[in-house]
Amino acid sequence: MTSGRRKRPGEAVKVSIIIPVYNEANTVATLLERVWAQPLAQVTRELIIVESNSTDGSREIVAEFVARHGEAGAARVHAIYQDGPRGKGHALRQGFAAATGDILLIQDADLEYDVADYPDLLSPILDGRTAFVLGSRHMGAASWKIRQFAHNGLLAVLMNAGGVLFHGLFNALFGVRLTDPTSMYKVFRADCLGDLRFTCNGFDFDYELLGKLIRAGFVPLEVPVSYRSRGFDEGKKISILRDPATWVVAIIRCRCAAAPRPAARSGDAPAATAKNPHFAHHRGTSSRYPVRTRPDRGQSEEAC
């Protein structure tokens, strides 16, 4: 485990936005500009873009964005160029390892989610109400029917029903009542990762990350977010034949594994003040903890 530097009093909290990219040429330029332009009060940001050697020109789009914004202003833009696609989970783990922020926020390179929800996702952590936030697609008017494919209503019904089943399985095994365990918007304090080790490379990483954080004591607070589903003809990458089996394995393996050790607590003086009580909540307590002391992130053992 390595430790970060001591956070200076009054120093702004940094949010690391982790963006995995693979074959998203139709949307990635717009998404990156939206993330860059989204106003964020009380925090600074860094963008960690993990590009997985796309075949549709996405890598060149990312490189052009980094060239324009890499040295602009206080925000840090860092690109990781993989030599080939190893899955979303693998890309996120690399992004975690490169991040230097106090809070980690996962952002896909498509336009299904709205970056305007960032303030609502961050405020519960900044206010000290929780260490972990999920952006729920199911807390809005669409309820459980979040996938609506214009040209394939039957597939939409099947995927919505499948989502209900997998969410129910996860909730039953982990003893929680989450409305949207597979939401992309997972936002949490960096020190929540503690000594957690991750092994899943694909979309099963959603369940592994959530399950291990819950077993480490971090039950997320859900907040509603906007969502516009895209179809497979628009670039959706989940395979309804291949991926569900990996989700079941990840859920069961994570639940049956030995409980992870709680994240280490540092003896450093906390960065929070009475006027700015960031990160006051930790596993249901009101104690304050420094947020710059963090381990190596996204460590891997083997493919899940």
DSSP 240-303: TTTHHHHHHHHHHHHHHSPPPPPPPPP-SPPS--SSS-TT--BTTB-----SS-----S-B-S-
Structure token digits, residue 178 = 């989450």
Residue 80 lies in a domain: yes
Residue 43 lies in a domain: yes
| Count of the separate structural domains present in the chain | 1
pLDDT along the chain (304 residues), means of 10: 50 94 96 96 95 97 93 83 95 97 96 95 97 88 50 61 79 94 94 93 92 96 87 55 80 85 43 36 35 46 46
Q: Give pLDDT, residue 228.
A: 84
Q: Give pLDDT, residue 233.
A: 52
Nearest 5°: the CA angle 186, 106, 57 is 150
Residue 299 lies in a domain: no
CATH number at residue 163: 3.90.550.10
Q: Give pLDDT, residue 290.
A: 33
Q: Give pLDDT, residue 234.
A: 54
Residue 33 lies in a domain: yes
**What is the extent of the structural domain holding 79?**
13-256
How many of the other CB atoms lie within 10 Å of CB of 150?
A: 10
Q: Give pLDDT, residue 141.
A: 56
Residue 292 lies in a domain: no
Residue 288 lies in a domain: no
